[in-house]
Copies of this chain bind each other. A is one copy, B any other.
Amino acid sequence: MSLLVTGSIGLDTLETPAGVRQDVIGGSAIYFSYAASFFTPVRLVGVVGEDHPRQLFNVFEGRDVDTGGIEVRKGSKTFRWHGSYVKDMNEAVTVEVDLNVLAERAPKIPASFLDSKYVFLANTHPALQQEMLASLKSPKLIVADTMNLWIQTQQADLRKLLTKVHGFVLNDGEARLLTEEKNLIAAARQVLKMGPKFVVIKKGEHGCLMMSDRGTFVLPAFPAEKVVDPTGAGDSFAGGMMGYLATQGGAVSAATLKRALAYGTVVASYTIADFSLDAIRRADREQIDERWHEFKTAMSF
């Protein structure tokens, strides 16, 4: 049930109405890996500079995350992001971003990872996503994420990638940008025409929308009264979703996908309750299952 993730590892500075944190561990691959590891063993591929977060190698202590795919590149600097949610908890304002090592060559996937069956290509340049994908031997379920930057500047590459993945995860603004459709149902339908078997549109505090040829599923976010820091919610959501799908042999029936999205929703609800990984590190699988059942009961009528 090997789940491979490639994505960013970063040093985040975060401002929210609840306070400020400087140089804490972040990045899509970090949140994803932590979230997915509640469900299945994770293989993490990413690159940092010599100034990498102190917690990088002990944050996964006691968890089934293989960090053998993290390259610490000499002479390079770690990706840094400074974001603020002070004005709007649902949308970060980027105060500063330094791509640093992310602007260099991609990390190499270790030979021992090349047999991974389940793959999540977290947001990075779509040409790199394709390159990493091409090196894998026999992936069974491939899901990718992206961001507005690539939609705007590398759409040809992104569209090529979309013909090679089973699932695609993006947020509402990105879906509108990619398809030029305001209505999200219409946008999801357009994305399906680009290749993926299923698409998940994340709507932040408003939950998510999934569409496949089997139908459409909408799920609200878990009702959260205390949101401290939304950073990593989308990546935790994807991690919970993919982690669960990996335990199901990569099946993407409508029923399995729904349960997976609900797991993603629940895992994300832990992430946002504190800064960085602080809240999700306090959760365990039993609590997640309990909240999942609570959510399922609350959602049924």
Contacts and interface: CB of A to CB of B under 8 A. Distances in A.
B298 A300 contact: no
A185 B223 CA distance: 7
A272 to B, nearest CB: 11
A206 B209 contact: no
A196 B201 CA distance: 35
B189 A225 contact: yes
Interface stretch (A53-61, A109-117, A142-150, A254-262): A254-262
Contact of A206 (B182, B206, B216, B224): B206
Chain A: interface size category: 20 to 34
A227 interface: yes
Interface string A269-301: 000000000000000000000000000101111
Interface string A212-244: 000111111101111100000000000000000
A179 B31 CA distance: 34
A159 interface: no
A139 interface: no
B209 A223 contact: yes
Interface in A245-260: 255, 258-259
Nearest to A261: B301
A185 B298 contact: no
Contacts of A296: 301
Nearest to A181: B225
Contacts of A218: 207, 220-221, 223, 298-299
A55 B299 CA distance: 40
Contacts of A300: 299-300
Contacts of A203: 206
Q: Which 8 pairs between the two chains have the least Cβ-Cβ distance?
A: A258-B301, A218-B220, A206-B206, A185-B225, A216-B223, A185-B223, A262-B301, A259-B301
